[in-house]
Amino acid sequence: MQCNIDARGKAYRFRLGIYALSIAAIFSLLTFLGILASTNWWYVVAIIAFSGAFTIFEARAGWCVVRAMGFKTRI
């Protein structure tokens, strides 16, 4: 895992991860309160939370899995 993103990419990924974790927290609250009645919403919450945490990991490590696979990203 070599550093393959610059400071701008790190900041973008960190903001994206915080945003995803916030959305996961909102969905989990709505599911817990019964507004989103299906128990399948917990799977959605878990996927979004994992994605957000992984994105924050990428930002902290300075490494992007998509770039590591050879794809070019804008940031």
Tens digit of each residue's pLDDT (9 = 90 or more) over 2-41: 899 999 999 999 999 999 999 999 999 999 999 999 999 9
- The answer to whether position 34 is within a domain reads yes
Query: Which structural domain range is residue 38 located in?
Result: 7-68
Task: Report the pLDDT value the prediction gives residue 43, as an integer from 0 to 100.
Answer: 97
Does residue 75 belong to any structural domain of this protein? no
Q: What is the DSSP string of 18-49?
A: HHHHHHHHHHHHHHHTTSS--TTHHHHHHHHH
User: Could you tell me the pTM of the whole model?
Assistant: 0.89
In a domain, 21, yes or no: yes
- 73 band by pLDDT with thresholds 50, 70 and 90: confident
Question: For the chain, how many structural domains are there in total?
Answer: 1
Does residue 2 sit within a domain?
Answer: no
